[in-house]
Chains A and B, each alone.
Chain A
Amino acid sequence: MLLSWIRAVISRRRWIKFASGILLGFTLSLALLTACQPAADVTDSAPSVPDGGGSGGTVRIGMTASDIPLTAGAPNSGFEGVRFTGMTLYDALVTWDLSVSDQPAPLVPQLATEWSVDEADPRLWTFKLREGVKFHDGSDFNADAVVFNFEKIFDENAPHYDARQSAQVIARLPAYESIRKVDDYTVEITTKTPSSLLINQLPFMFFSSPAHYEALGEDWTAFEQDPSGTGPFMLEELVPRERAVLVPNPNYWDENRMAKADRIELIPIPEGTTRANALLAGQVDWIEAPPADTLAMLESRGFEITSNGYPHLWPWQFSFAEGSPWLDKRVRQAANLAINREEIQALLGGNMIPAKGILLPDDPAFGNPAFDVHYDPDAALALLEEAGYGPDNPLDVKVLISTSGSGQMQPQPMNELIQQQLAAVGINVDFEVLVWETLFDNWRQGAEHPDSRGAHATNITFATHDPFAAMVRFVYTDSAPPNSLNWGLYSNPEVDALIEELQTTFDPEANLAVYQQLHETLVEDAPFLFVAHDVGPRAMRSEVGGFVQAKSWFQDITPVYLTE
């Protein structure tokens, strides 16, 4: 049948004319459709500044992820997932206040109204829960829901345990051991050891509706498509890899965070140039992380570029393995003094903050370090000479770097500039360039692992939003591989003692004082080459209003709206 049809077409119907006819028809239809195609999508217009609960138009956001982050309560895709499908659909017991932009976002109560630590047994934390909060499906948020969600993540024997969600959260709450319901609105959390850091870890624990999970046949995959949290947005539509549509939760408990936009469309666009083109073509209103070389062009075309420093560090993490030249503090300090960070800033078109330590210079815990990280090549030369290095005894170091990677900014040109700057004071740098994934996996292996190829430093950026993320995992002796990310095997009894004191100091003011002291000690001891803090640029249409870029990895999109 097929054969006779093909034969008929090819041999009897003058196939050249046939092909030409189809071609002509196709071309004409294409031309007609192209001509009839309206200009890029016209977004709903909106009144000036909506009060909340919608009427602020549709805001379409181009994300860097290649898929919509998981929506069941434990987002993947790193902090972008937490930002867009975590903090929008869900709430945590404690979260960051993202309405401020002039200081690193502080922690504030969210679904917990207050908490306390047992004086007799400081492993016991009691949390009072917010009353009157409803999940999107109308069921109550209470202690049972909190216990249910912790079991979902931590209890492998619970019927609703979900390995996939567990993998996203479990490592972010290393302090947690168990939970107990005290009454309908009180829960008690026990930590493995006394740990003041629990409170910093809780923003990553979101709460899904147990009632809705049951209604969906106890199926987390079904819950992904139809999630129910307590957050300011609800999921209206989810098309994997194409879009997620969020709409305001009209019953949201926090009047100050009622969503202003009618709809937020999240669109995964992993390729940077494609994201910029989508913004230029009017297909999205806002893009995350526009490529650095498009920023000036976007700005010249009237798009708003927002940026703000956030808790992020672009460092070299030094090796303290036997034979490493960085074992000498004078050499570490010399390298830090030999770096001209303003030059690196110029290389990035101004899109970085010169680092003066691990934390942002305006972080309340920055303190007053004795060692001032700045550019002073003469002082660097003097320190190197004191340490025994000079023209007759040059210093050779090898550093592991990548050419790209999440949060790595522009690693190759930045590293090459640093290489030149260090060469000027007699430090010869040799790079071992690895695939980003390999470099990242090596982080946990440590400097002495054969895969580290005898390198004296590794260049991986990291978040510094709390003491654990910023310091404990890199500088605590017990964090050496394979326990955590103390790649360089750094060990300093003074630092260890301060970390232990920090873990057991529960009074907020006293805790901050210890944290400051820890930071001051680390800056002075310089276990890193402190280079830069990223500023997280975003580009958006000038019609996008209400956005306040917090000094955080996370941003609040409830105040965002679109005007004409």
Chain B
Amino acid sequence: MFLYICRRIVYTVPIALAVAVVCFSLVHLAPGDPLSAVIPADAPAEVVERIVKAYGMDRPLPVQFFSWLGRAIQGDLGVSVATGRPVAAEISRALGSTFILAFAAALLGFLFGILFGTIAAFLQGRWSDRLVTGIALFGVSVPHYWLGLLLVIIFSVQLDWLPSLGAGSGSFMDRFPYLILPAVTMSFIPMGIVTRTVRSTVSELLGSEFVTSLRARGLSNVSIAKHVAKNAAPSVLAVMGLQFGYLLGGSILVETVFSWPGTGYLLNGAIFQRDIPLLQGIILTLSMFFVALNLFVDVLQTLFDPRIRRS
């Protein structure tokens, strides 16, 4: 097991390097001047040259890349071009907000997803199955941006119940109302996907021979559900892990609609300001999170399923 984990960790190194190369290349290939956020359009040529030099953008791209990579390995992601604040500090502040939102959305999405998926599987073919499947389909197809705006119009503008933007300030309870609408909006996709996964996995298991055998032995539905849940856990966990990864990545659209100060909102600002150090830092950090989360889920699956361990 220990060797398996070590091997998986070693595999992440080339992935991380590839991510670093791709994200560095992408932000430099994108249209626009990397320093257009700080250089006024009518700046004289000598001023432009001076500013480009001050930000180290006059060096060849490979030199810039390796210099950035060397510092990134030591945890120094550089300084934001637009604000001058350290990128690592900017990202860690935003990650806190995104974690809170991702946990809340995951809690809602996974709980409803498991509940709906199980109901649909056990009551397959009935109206409740069709209703739940419809909700799941809505969850995976509805545009988040539109749903967020709709919820704001209903709950903030019309009913005046919940705040429409920001993360609030003060204690957790003061901030809690600000969390509700973005969390509900973001929970719809994982809810839909988990519902569909749980439904198909549990349905398949309910038709399998070992469940027939359990029924023949006279086990109650509750006891059968226990066995089914244990067998369904690995595939559902894998899906939930991936979904949680997406949520941790933050959603540019949802966070922008709600001005939620997380990584998606930060990324949006960085894109518009062409803040290259910040863009690179966010993309690299989020990618690493995703890689780490995949590793964690793989390990968890191995622990749950002896077949994977043996293979």
Chain A residues close to B by CB (< 8 Å):
3, 6, 10-12, 14-16, 19-20, 22-23, 26, 30, 33-34, 37, 39-41, 66-67, 70, 76, 156, 163-164, 166-168, 170-172, 174, 220-221, 224, 239-243, 267-271, 273-274, 277-278, 280-283, 434-435, 437-438, 440-441, 443-444, 469, 473, 482-485
Contact = CB atoms under 8 A, between A and B. Distances in A.
Contact of B115 (A23, A267, A268): A23
Contacts of A11: 226, 229-230
A22 B156 CA distance: 26
B160 A39 contact: yes
B162 A34 contact: yes
Contact of A16 (B149, B163, B229): B229
A164 B84 contact: yes
B109 to A, nearest CB: 11
Given A170-B47, A171-B39, A440-B36, A241 B261 contact: yes
Main secondary structure of the interface of A (DSSP, over half): helix
Contacts of A34: 161-162, 177, 180
B112 interface: yes
Contacts of A483: 44-45
Nearest to B122: A16
A426 to B, nearest CB: 34
Interface in B25-54: 31-33, 35-45, 47-48, 50-51, 54
A181 to B, nearest CB: 25
18 contacts: A6-B304, A14-B226, A19-B111, A33-B177, A33-B180, A37-B161, A40-B163, A76-B83, A174-B44, A240-B90, A241-B265, A273-B257, A274-B256, A274-B258, A277-B164, A443-B41, A483-B44, A483-B45
Contacts of B93: 240
B51 A167 contact: yes
Given A163-B55, A171-B40, A283-B166, A66 B230 contact: no
Interface of B: 31-33, 35-45, 47-48, 50-51, 54-55, 82-85, 90, 93-94, 107-108, 111-112, 114-115, 118, 149, 152-153, 156-157, 160-167, 169, 176-177, 180, 222, 225-226, 229-230, 233, 256-259, 261, 265-266, 268-269, 272-274, 300, 303-304
A241 B269 contact: yes
Given A34-B180, A171-B39, A438 B32 contact: yes
B219 to A, nearest CB: 14
A127 B251 CA distance: 52
A242 B115 CA distance: 36
B94 to A, nearest CB: 8
A70 B79 CA distance: 14
A354 B283 CA distance: 45
A441 B169 CA distance: 39
Nearest to B223: A14
Given A66-B272, A171-B44, A268-B259, A437 B229 contact: no
Contact of B162 (A26, A37, A220, A444): A37
Contacts of A10: 229-230, 233
B164 A437 contact: no
Contact of A40 (B84, B114, B156): B156
Contacts of A164: 38, 84
B128 to A, nearest CB: 15
Given A41-B163, A221-B85, A66 B111 contact: no
A437 B257 contact: no
Given A274-B258, A281-B152, A30 B163 contact: no
Contact of B43 (A19, A26, A171, A282): A171
Contacts of B45: 482-483
Q: Give the one of B33, B41, B222 with max A CB within 10 A.
A: B41
A172 B83 CA distance: 19
Contacts of B37: 76
Given A167-B35, A241-B261, A281-B152, 18 more contacts: A12-B226, A19-B115, A33-B180, A40-B156, A66-B273, A240-B261, A241-B94, A270-B259, A274-B257, A280-B156, A283-B164, A283-B165, A438-B31, A441-B36, A473-B42, A482-B48, A483-B44, A485-B41
A419 B208 CA distance: 67
A270 B265 CA distance: 10
Nearest to A70: B83
Contact of B165 (A20, A269, A440, A473): A269
A271 B44 CA distance: 32
A524 B42 CA distance: 25
A407 to B, nearest CB: 11
B145 to A, nearest CB: 9
A22 B112 CA distance: 10
A361 B51 CA distance: 37
Contact of B153 (A39, A70, A277, A469): A277
Contacts of A41: 163
A224 B84 contact: yes
Closest 8 CB pairs of A and B: A437-B32, A171-B43, A66-B269, A281-B156, A438-B31, A163-B54, A171-B40, A281-B164
Nearest to B225: A16
A33 B48 CA distance: 54
